[in-house]
Structure 1
Amino acid sequence: MAPSKKKHAKTTEACVIPGGFTVLSLQFNSDSEAQHKLYVKEHKVRAERSSHRPLDRTLFVLNIPPYCSQDVIKELFSQFGSVQSVELGDHPGSFQQSGPRLSRVFRPAEKQGFKVGYVVFQNSSGVTEAKSHPNNVPLIVSTGEHPVKTGVHKWIQQYTQSFTESDKLQKIVDSFMEDYDKRKEEESERQKQEAEQQQEDEEGWVKVTKGNKSTKARPHSEAANQKAIQREMRKKQRKELMNFYTWQHRNTQKEHIAELRKKFEEDKQKISLLRAQRKFRPY
């Protein structure tokens, strides 16, 4: 049978798959034949009421390849409308950093892999335009105006950018030390003022000032502070020794009661023996 000469018509409609996701074709450059698929959907998580992800202007994106950074995603989706912000992460949800914040000079290594993202548009029409984009019109990642480097060229670029210029690093260090010296001077000045307020007058009186609401009131003399600290330390050590375990505390109480009873019986025997040995009997 001869093959049919009828050509398949190219669809100009958006491709929507089960789950409400719209499929967007992604092409690295205009000469590339391979295409990658992005899955986009309007962000409608009612439990997440954060101001940086408005429900009517946020687009949820899945299957973002590793060579697409935040700037690349922002440039790709800018054709649908003005993009306000882009967030990329390994899993859906909050991308807030859980650990301590590091300096902008020392950045942790990023995980390489496919990511999920949230694209926030300035207007809600951007979400509608992205969802109605036809599947047969791919989005071009690397263009002449905005080239994207991959492979060895990308590694060389990242390695070069990992070094910080000595002048910039020196400015950051100087700024940090200036802030540190300023905080130390303010702290020493505050301690000096407190010491002056706590000095005893000629008659031995100490001026008591009202402290902050968050701090507990305590005596304003050094001797009283030392006594209070020693008293608390002795109390804490005694409590740790006596109440290290509940069963130890109970056994200690039982042994103490048994010792008192034993001493009571010994005292009774001594009293009875003294009465028996008494020689003077007036009757």
Structure 2
Amino acid sequence: MAPSADQHARVIPGGFTVLSLRFSEDDAHAALHQLCVKEHRVRAESSTNRPLDRTLFVLNVPPYCTESVITEMFSRFGPVQSVELKERPGASEPSHSGLTKHFTDKHRQCFRVAYIVFRHASGVNAAKRHPENVPLVVSTAERPVRTGIHKWIQQYSDSLIKASSLQQDIDQFMNDYDRQKEEINAAKCVCSGIIIMCKSHSEKKRTHIGRSLISNISSVSDIAELRKKFEEDKQRIAVLRAQRKFRPY
């Protein structure tokens, strides 16, 4: 039997499908929240993290919906590969910033947009066909979502850094720093030089002018030392030219 009219998905201008959102199953008489979803198709975007045939673009995501909550809710349409939340639509950004987890940026508590990547294209089509009068449930008995004072207490507890975890990160950072310094010192020992051939009427002389060709040096003092040696090399070459003894070829 064909579904009734009220079981059809509602499509609004812009090609978006409206999905209803209910916070919990106990709030049967509470007002529903609406999400606007459509297939993500931006030709100018070349990101491989958002495949055009398997990515669902979602608008009006409430602050209490985290990546894990969205993954659980939309898994009813098919296996979810990844979820990306942003404050506004835009190009995909790298997931890592190079900072330790103790100094990550805090997200603002605001309505956001989401990019949901399904493992199969059928997940996007199923979400677009979902009827509006069958709401998605945010908080369930198996997956409770904290709000109000309980949410604030949880956020405060999560903001506290354990001394053991911080010490472990510090030790790892220092080990990486020592290893990088050892690599730089080893590179200085094996750096190549410029050999200048000096010829005279009676004999051949070779003068070795060292120039460090070391890459990936982050220390400002090392860079300043390299510049100083480079200027000294230039002055020596100028003296040899003035004496008409410089024959590079």
TM-score by length of 2: 0.75
Match of 1:172 among 149, 169, 181: 169
Match of 1:25 among 15, 20, 26: 20
Change (3 A) 1:197 1:180: farther
Structure having greater relative contact order (Cα 8 Å, sep ≥ 6):
2
Alpha-carbon shift at residue 186 of structure 1 (Å): 1.9
Partner of 2:207: 206
- The alignment-based identity, stated in percent, is 49
How many pairs does the alignment contain?
213
Give secondary structure in 1 for the equivalent of 2:6: coil
What residue is the counterpart of 2:106 in the other structure?
A: 109
Give the equivalent residue in structure 2 for 1:14.
9
Identify the structure with the greater strand proportion. 2
1:151 paired with 2:148, answer yes
Provide, for residues 39-64 of structure 1, a one-character-per-residue CA deviation record: whole Å limited to 9, x for no partner: 00011111112211111111010000
User: Match for 1:12: what amino acid?
Assistant: Q
Which ranges in structure 2 are unaligned for 5 or more consecutive residues?
196-203, 216-225, 238-249
Cα shift at 1:196: 10
Please give the root-mean-square deviation of Cα atoms over the aligned residues, in Å.
Answer: 3.4
Q: Is the Cα–Cα contact under 8 Å of residues 89 and 95 in structure 1 kept in the other structure?
A: no
Q: CA deviation at 1:109?
A: 2.0
Q: Secondary structure at the match of 2:179?
A: helix
The Cα offsets for residues 129-150 of structure 1, whole Å up to 9 and x where unpaired, read as 1011111111000001111011
Runs of 4+ off more than 3 Å: 97-101, 192-198, 203-214, 222-225, 227-231
Structure-2 change in CA distance of 1:65 and 1:230 (3 Å): farther
Q: Residues 208 and 196 from structure 1, CA distance in 2 versus in 1: closer, same or farther, beyond 3 angstroms?
A: closer
Find the residue that maps to 1:59 and give its secondary structure. strand
1:50-105, Cα deviation, whole Å (9 max, x unpaired): 21111111101000001101111111100100000111111111242699642211
Give SS of 2:93's match. coil
- 2:182 pairs, out of 185, 200, 221, with 185
Query: CA, structure 1 residues 229+89, in 2 after alignment: closer, same or farther (shift >3 Å)?
Result: farther
Query: Given that residues 10 and 136 in structure 1 are in contact (C-alpha distance below 8 angstroms), is that contact kept between their aligned partners in structure 2?
Result: no
Q: Deviations over 1:10-61 (max 9, x none)?
A: 7111111121111100000011122100000011111112211111111010
